[in-house]
Amino acid sequence: MSSVSPSHPPAPPRISAVPSPEGRFGQFGGSYVPETLVTALTQLSDTYQRIQRDDSFWGHLADLQRHYVGRPTPLYHAGRLTDHARALSRSQDRGANIWLKREDLAHTGAHKINNTLGQGLLTVRMGKKRIIAETGAGQHGVASATAAAHLGLACDVYMGAEDVRRQRLNVIRMKILGANVIEVDSGSRTLKDATNEAMREWMGSVEHTHYIIGSVVGPHPFPMIVRDFQSVIGQETKAQCLRTFQRLPDAVVACVGGGSNAAGMFYPFVDEHRVKLIGVEAGGHSSQPGQHAASLTLGSPGILHGSLSYVLQDQFGQTAPVHSCSAGLDYPGVGPEHAYWHQTGRVAYTAVTDKEALDAFTLLARAEGIIPALESAHAVAHALDAAAQMPRDAHLVICLSGRGDKDVDEAARLLAQREQPTR
Ligand SMILES: *Cc1c(COP(=O)(O)O)cnc(C)c1O
């Protein structure tokens, strides 16, 4: 590696005493896996433990964040969006300043690269030569393929056959980057099934393969590791707020699929009790079963993909079908730390419908010249309402998790549907 500055950045600070050594966030989390995976998870935990005080690891990662990813990403004052919130408030003294943390400007167009580069470096540390990943919309697949190309690792990406069809452009990107895309034909042929398949494959290949989970989900230590790699978002935001308006923000809003951009944004603020933290889930068409993906708002405790958290499930504990206009939020589970924050009340969770997200998508494009990912548009939609209720001198930060280039076909289709007279 080329240029590590002499002032090595330390490992991300441990803020709260979670998870426990067994990977518990309160009652949530843990590691519900077949015995074949226990060795691999222990090896991962040990390696992660070992690099905590390893300046060369964090120095290498910081170097990549700066020169390869383009960090720090800007904190942008969205003036015209702020005006819009003020107009909504219909009050002289309401309407907080809205700021966007621009993860859409990170390399590959979303926050996911923060995690895949970190886990890619861990893969190298473990002496493994191959990574596998699951992907829904293809964003995590692209970020994994990118990290693999940069680090010279082989890469197989599991993707539901239905998603392969819907996300053709990302499939092409992964292939150009040198990854194999493996179509999964079981179940609903979407993200949940791709995750099952990737976990199954990993059991037979753990010797030489690392499985890069794409969000703060899965068995311990994944939720902790992914949170730590993503918490660069919140650390930068904190420093940028102090520099720009000389204090911490009053509220921070992020969308929640598996929960990685939100966890990365929230974690450095968890002990700052005056900062209100708000997670926004996919409300889909409605709160009817199968019509949304709001695991915390509408689900119940259960085990999915190796950990105990909130799950959308039927009366027999089978995962329920989910729907969201944004493929990245279309997941029936959520990270266990979010379940813990939900239970303790530290973070407030709410849901925004497809329609509200699509309105916010168009509004941000027209008001600021920024086309957000449909996932991020969920956060924007709720943030506008929240800002309208807050005092005028307050500051609200939105985690703009990704850019919307991948969504323009879907958004155009949904907007065209609106023009049709209904029935
Ligand atoms: C994948 C993705 C999400 C959802 O994943 P989290 O783990 O909840 O962050 C949100 N926004 C964008 C742009 C994504 O690509």
User: pLDDT higher for 241 or 189?
Assistant: 241
Q: Which atom of ligand 1 is nearest to the CA of 139?
A: 15
Query: How large is the average pLDDT for residues 37-45?
Result: 94
Distances in whole angstroms, Cα of residue 160 to Cα of each of 3, 44, 136, 141, 361 = 40, 27, 7, 12, 26
Type of residue at 257: G
> What ligand 1 atom has the least distance to the C-alpha of 262?
9
**Residue 118 three-state SS:** helix
Q: Which of 212, 227, 260, 324 to mutate to test the pocket of ligand 1 (most atoms within 8 A of CB)?
A: 260
Quickly state the pLDDT bin for 15 (edges 50, 70, 90). Answer: low
- With vertex at residue 58, the alpha carbon angle to CA 57 and CA 63, rounded to the nearest 5 degrees, is 100
pLDDT of residue 73: 98
pLDDT for 11 equals 61
Per-residue burial over 202-235, b = 16 or more CB atoms within 10 Å of its CB, e = otherwise: beeebeebbbbbbbbbbbbbbbbbbbbbbbbbbb
Q: Give 249-311 as a DSSP string.
A: -SEEEEE-SSSHHHHHHHGGGTT-TTSEEEEEEEEES-SSTTS-B-HHHH-EEEEETTEEEEE
Report d(CA 327, CA 407) in Å as an integer: 9
Residue nearest to atom 5 of ligand 1 (CA): 257
- Percent of the chain scored above 90 by pLDDT? 88
pLDDT at 372 over 80: yes
The angle at the Cα of 412, spanning 77 to 181, to the nearest 5 degrees, equals 90
* pLDDT number for residue 3: 39
Q: What is the mean pLDDT of residues 327-349?
A: 96
Whether the pLDDT of residue 5 is over 60: the answer is no
pLDDT, tens digit, for every residue of 125-156?
A: 999 999 999 998 899 999 999 999 999 999 99
Q: Partners of 255 in the beta sheet?
A: 280
Q: pLDDT digit string (tens) for 272-320?
A: 999 999 999 999 999 999 999 999 999 999 999 999 999 999 989 899 9
Q: Which mutation among 116, 329, 399, 408 tests ligand 1's pocket best, with the greatest number of atoms within 8 A of CB?
A: 329
Which range is least confidently modeled, 57-71, 314-328, 375-389?
314-328
Q: What percent of the chain has pLDDT over 70?
A: 95
Residue to mutate, 103, 105, 108, 112, ligand 1, most ligand atoms under 8 Å from C-beta: 112
Mean pLDDT score across all residues of the chain: 94
Query: What SS3 state is found at 319?
Result: strand
Give the least confident one: 3-7, 105-109, 409-413: 3-7
Confidence at 14, pLDDT banded by 50, 70, 90: low
Residue 68 DSSP class: I
pLDDT at 165: 85
pLDDT given at position 166: 80
Q: What pLDDT, on the 0 to 100 scale, is given for residue 137?
A: 86
pLDDT at 17 over 70: no
What pLDDT is attached to residue 98? 98
Alpha-carbon gap, residue 57 to 10, rounded angstroms: 10
Q: What separation in Å is there between the alpha carbon of 380 and the centre of ligand 1?
A: 14
Mean pLDDT over 229-250 rounds to 98
Checking if the pLDDT of 324 tops 60, the result is: yes
Which residue in 31, 45, 112, 144 is the catalytic one? Answer: 112
Find the 312 Cα to ligand 1 centroid distance in Å: 18
The residues lining ligand 1, judged by C-beta closer than 6 Å to any ligand atom, are 110, 112, 139, 215, 255-262, 328-329, 373, 375-376, 401-402
Q: Which of 70, 101, 116 is nearest to 215 (CA)?
A: 116
Work out which ligand 1 atom sits closest to the CA atom of 215. 7
Averaged pLDDT for residues 61-83: 98
Can you spell out the DSSP letters for 365-392?
A: HHHHS--B-HHHHHHHHHHHHHHHHSBT
Residue 273 CB neighbour total at 10 angstroms: 8
Q: What is the pTM of this model?
A: 0.95
* Catalytic residue flag (residue 128): no
Separation of alpha carbons 195 and 304, rounded Å: 10
Q: Name which residue sits closest to atom 13 of ligand 1, judged by CA.
A: 402
pLDDT of residue 2: 40
Which tens digits make up the pLDDT trace of 383-418?
999 999 999 999 999 999 999 999 999 999 999 998
**Residue 239 token pair:** 């420093």
Sorted by sequence, the CB contacts under 8 Å of residue 197 that are 6+ apart come out as 134, 158, 182, 184, 186
| pLDDT score of 47 | 96
* 3-state SS assignment for residue 17: coil
Query: Amino acid identity, residue 213?
Result: I
* Residue 77: CB atoms within 10 Å: 14
The pLDDT of residue 192? 87
Would you call 112 a catalytic residue per the annotation? yes
Q: For residue 256, give the nearest of 228, 234, 280 by alpha carbon.
A: 280
DSSP state letters, 152-208? T-EEEEEEEHHHHHHTHHHHHHHHHTT-EEEEE-STTSSHHHHHHHHHHHHHHHTTT
Pairing of strands 251-255, 395-400: parallel
CA distance 243 to 237: 10
Residues 6+ apart with CB under 8 A from 6: none
Distance CA 348, CA 375 (A): 18
Terminal CA-CA length for the chain: 61
